Amino acid sequence: MKFSANLGFLWSELPLTDAIRAAKVAGFDAVECHWPYDTPAEDVALALTDTGLNMLGLNTIRGDLSKGENGLNALPNRMTEARVAIDQAIEYAHITGTANIHAMAGFAQGVEAHDVFCENLTYACAKAAPHGIGIVIEPLNHYDAPGYFLSTTSQAQQIITEVGAPNLKLMFDCYHVQLMEGDITNRLTKLQSIIGHIQFASVPDRSTPDRGELSYDHIFAHLKSLGYAAPLGAEYKPNGPTPPTLDWLTKYKS
């Protein structure tokens, strides 16, 4: 199995460039991040070249943090800001060779939000495609993100079909999917053609994959049987330094 360190959570106390180097030393095959924009893209590109790691994903900005915003792309009347954020993410991804941009939907509900999200995704996909960059959308659970527009894989599937862009895919985060819908094994099988990236953490405490109500022995073996070979994103909260939490990595890499 191959694994990607999500540097939004792992080594999050380090500058992003140091975190990339730490992930390499620990044995990860790739990295991904949340919001890298405070670090110059050229510095991140250099750390990636030095380590030989690829950046698999980054997020569009959340918006006004003082108001608790969590993405702009499904917010009616915020299209101009949403598109500036998409352009910013594409430029950063282009410089760093990042594979996918997670277009964050935000807190919104209803038909208008759906339509705005689809329009912004159409824009993002068209602008990202010439650079070979993918756009992913990720259902978030209602415990951590109550009121978030995108909350289930079935809703994501409908949006992906409606937008109809070849570079629009699903970010399947096993942690969120288990909390909202369950049936992880069957969902991975059914949705494999639209999956752009997979993330994991224990459920319900979002910790290492060797605990909680999901068996990652089973899930990783199932992904292998499906022929899924891309790195899986370790997006769990280490609650302290990351290295002492990596027994699971040693186990699955050996």
Ligand X SMILES: O=C(O)C(=O)[C@@H](O)CO
Residues recognised as catalytic: 138, 235
d(CA 3, CA 18): 18
Here the tokens at position 19 are: 């975190």
Closest CB to Mg ion among 45 and 171? Answer: 171
34 touches, from ligand X, Mg ion, none (C-beta below 5 to 8 Å by class): ligand X
Interface segment toward Mg ion; rule CB under 5 A; list 23-31, 91-99, 116-124, 168-176? 168-176
Could you say whether residue 197 binds ligand X (CB under 6 A)? Answer: no
Q: How far is the CB of 144 from ligand X (least distance, A)?
A: 7
Q: Rule CB under 6 A: is residue 127 a binding residue for ligand X?
A: no
Q: What is the DSSP letter of 107?
A: B
- Residue 43, H or E segment: helix 41-51
Other Cβ atoms less than 10 A from the Cβ of 217: the count is 12
Which of ligand X, Mg ion, none does 59 bind, CB closer than 5 to 8 A by kind? ligand X
Looking at residues 140 to 169 of the shown chain, list those that interact with ligand X (rule: CB under 6 A): 140
Provide the CA 107 distance to its chain's centre, in angstroms: 17
CB of 135 to Mg ion, least distance (A): 15
Q: How far is CA 27 from CA 31, 188, 206, 247, in A?
A: 11, 26, 21, 12
Alpha carbons 122 and 60: distance in angstroms, whole number: 15
Q: Which residue ranges make up the site for ligand X (CB under 6 A)?
A: 34, 59, 102, 138, 140, 173, 176, 199, 235
Chain residues that interact with Mg ion, rule: CB under 5 A? 173, 199, 235
